[in-house]
Structure 1
Amino acid sequence: MAGGIRGAMGIVSLILIAGALVLMFFVVLSGVTNSTPLNKTYFLRADTSSIAGARPVSQWTYFYVCGSGNTDCGKAVPALPFGYAWVGGGDGAPADLVGSHGKHTTSTHYYYLWRFGWVFYLISLFFTVMAFFTALLAPCSRLASGLSGLILTGSLFFFSLAASLMTAEFVQARDRFKAAGMSTKIGRYAFGFTWGAWAAIFLATIFLFLGCGAGGRKDDTVRSSRGATTSGGLGNVGFFRRQRSRRSARGSFVDNDSQRRVKDEYA
């Protein structure tokens, strides 16, 4: 029974981890090709036609700043500074977004929010991939379930930081654009995939730990009781054998004594 519960928990966890990885890769690869859903995945879309050096419409993805439909993307840059949407310009951009970082395009606040969020996202992706491979043995092993749960806990920690920082970054940027009178909106695909992956990792972590603890002490108790019963039964068998041998010895002693008395009388 416990093995069946552990197997079910392990299989469900494996499916959840695989789903989380797919969603995370959708976010990381957004803007790479013009295919659905990658062409619809962006964190923020804003009308930047009034900003010098910017596209008419800018969409911020994981590696790129792109135009409408994630086309006309710039160069892929790790931890892309927010202000790279208007490199070489910036006049007309909201003042809170512009600063000394990223070729004097991005303020300190928005520069480091994205930089740390970007790094934590990659760290979480690495731990999630590791957890997926260890979770392959989770349906049949308590050790694998526990190890996968620990690895996924690390992934959940870093992913919580990444999702929180990214959400704060682009929600605040949206508010700055709106305050400047520019039309803007949050990308529902990017944040839907991100928080959907977070929920999947969270549930998978719980199921892995439940699978690790499923029937552990109970199985040990059952094994101990079975062992005690078996040893007790063997002990009883041995006892009866000893009693039988003692009775046989006593009977032979009585017979020998009777034979001696008869011989003495006839002698």
Structure 2
Amino acid sequence: MINKHVERANRVITVLFYLGSTLLFILLILSGSINHFPINKFYWLSANTSNIPGAPYDISRWTFWGLCAEKNDKNVCSNYLSPAYPISPKDNFDTTTNLPPSFVSNRSTYFYLTRFDFVFFWLGLIFTGVNTILYIFTFCSYSFTKVVWFLQILASVFTISAVCMQTAAVAMAKNAFKNYGDDVSIGPALMGISWAILFLTICLFFMTGGTFIKKGYKHHQNYVEMSKYKEDALKYQQYMNSTKPINTDNASNPTDPYSLPSTYDEGYQQQNAEKQQQQQPVDIIQKSAGVIQQNPKSSVKFFHFKKTKKIPHNDDGSV
């Protein structure tokens, strides 16, 4: 009973984690695409770029979809948006003037880290979203459990990689701007969402993995039991084919080679015992009749008639 309650609680928690993770993925991916609350509060990095020639804004904010301006502590996104927009000022502003040296010397690191994490976030969302739907079907089929476990592995790999790469790139960019003397800050909301996604993904990895292993073990147990039953049934059939017909009259004799084997089930033995009880009176009568016919003098006599000799008499009464 306790195991059932635990299993139900695990299912409910897993469904909630999947829904929460999918929702957080959507919020993250909408960053930079909508200028409305609360999406306009989400950004990876905010830095003062007023002294960089080619920078379109005095304060630039890097979001999931690109570069946005800052107004009243809110994102204002318009023209500088594109898929896989990197956090790389050298590529964003097409200049090296007044750029922190790290963005020039390590340009490839910033560029590829932040471009690949765009793809990995999308893949993480796809696999997580599909699992959110498929997990419901795991309640009735072990095959869906296998699929969910496989997709969760892929979702975990891409999500963990995306969050780690984005965190590394943002931390390096912040240090580069800070060391150069520019005002810079990390977007707490978007970074918090990304790490919340990472936490939920790791939890789902172990939860779905535990369910997969548990159901797999039960499935293996059932398979072993069924194999044993089939083997016992085959042995019983071979035994029945190799033995002669059973003589029920001698079933009670333990030395009789044709007596009922102990492998018979209890129901069959009870049925055979009732048959023997019904047959016993008939056998006794038949055996008693046979004995009387063979030796009629040995039968019990309840009445004894004595034979006497008839003596003739004369008419006068003399003998």
Scaled by the length of structure 2, what TM-score is found? 0.71
SS of equivalent to 1:32:
coil
- Report Cα offsets for 1:17-46 as digits up to 9, x if no partner: 111111111111112112222111111000
1:155 equivalent in structure 2: 155
Is residue 2:85 matched to residue 1:80? yes
User: For 1:80 and 1:86, how far apart are their aligned partners in 2?
Assistant: 8
What is the CA distance between 1:175 and its match in structure 2?
Answer: 0.6
Instruction: Trace 1:16-165 onto structure 2 (pairs within 5 A).
Output: 16-54=17-55, 55-68=57-70, 69-81=74-86, 82-83=88-89, 86-98=92-104, 107-165=107-165
Cα deviation for residue 93 of structure 1 reads 1.8
Query: 3-state DSSP class of the match of 1:131?
Result: helix
Any idea what SS the aligned residue of 1:137 has?
Answer: helix
Q: Which runs of 5 or more structure 2 residues have no equivalent in the other structure?
A: 234-261, 298-319
Q: Is 1:251–2:253 an aligned residue pair?
A: no
- The equivalent of 1:241 in structure 2 is 271
CA RMSD between the two structures? 3.1
How much has 1:90 moved relative to structure 2?
4.7
Taking the aligned partners of 1:84 and 1:26, their CA distance within structure 2 comes to: 28
Distance in 2, matches of 1:43 and 1:67, equals: 13
Contact 2:90 2:103 in 1 (8 A): no
Which protein has greater RCO, CA pairs closer than 8 Å, 6+ apart? 1
Residue type matched to 1:206 in 2? F
Question: 1:54-83: per-residue Cα shift (whole Å, max 9, x none)?
Answer: 110111111111011220433431211323
Q: What is the Cα deviation at residue 3 of structure 1?
A: 4.4
In structure 2, do the counterparts of structure 1 residues 79 and 86 end up closer, same or farther at CA, with 3 Å as the change threshold?
Answer: closer
Which is helix-richer, 1 or 2? 1
In the alignment, the residues of structure 2 paired with residue 204 and residue 51 of structure 1 have an alpha-carbon distance, to the nearest angstrom, of: 44
User: Structure 1: which 5+ residue stretches go unaligned?
Assistant: 100-105
How many pairs does the alignment contain? Answer: 256
For the pair shown, the structure with the greater C-alpha radius of gyration is 2
SS in 2 for 1:5: helix
SS in 2 for 1:35: coil
> What TM-score do you get using the length of structure 1 for normalisation?
0.83
Identical aligned residues as a percent = 22
| Contact 2:124–2:156 (8 Å) recurs in 1 | yes
